[in-house]
Amino acid sequence: MNTTTAATPSRWARFKNSDIVYYFLKDKVAMFSFALFLTFVTASVLAPFIAPTDPYDLSLIDIMDSELPPSWMEEGDSRFFYWVPMIRAGIYSRPFFMARVCH
């Protein structure tokens, strides 16, 4: 008597061969949307490292700096090469920090 039992595939193998994965990999819009979603999640997780400033740290904001010209102009300050004082730098940092749900 020769009894052969077929090995049942693991859950991961069944998931990889499922219709959901097949149709997801064939749909270009779904792939692009998922890549965009992962980009936003990664940016929000890495916000403290990639954002130029912490927009919620009020000790860094000096309202009087908003009137200073950039460094290449007369009477310019070398801290503001791109004419982005700390009050305006929050505009670039805020989307990264706002995407974070928990700290």
CB 37 within 8 A of CB 99: no
The angle subtended at Cα 98 by Cα 95 and Cα 100, nearest 5°, is 120
Q: What pLDDT band is residue 32 in, cutting at 50, 70 and 90?
A: very high
Domain assignment of residue 23, given as a range = 11-98
For residue 65 the two structure tokens come to: 């700096």
The domain tally of the chain equals 1
Provide the pLDDT for residue 27.
Answer: 94
Most confident among 8-12, 25-29, 39-43 (mean pLDDT): 25-29
Q: What pLDDT band is residue 88 in, cutting at 50, 70 and 90?
A: low
On whether residue 88 sits in a domain, the answer given is yes
On whether residue 21 sits in a domain, the answer given is yes
pLDDT for residue 87 is more than 60: no
How much of the chain is helix, strand and coil, in % rounded to 5? 55, 0, 45
On whether residue 94 sits in a domain, the answer given is yes
Cβ-based neighbours of 24, under 8 Å, separated by 6 or more: 30, 31, 34
Sort 86 into a burial class: Cβ within 10 Å, 0-12 / 13-18 / 19+. buried
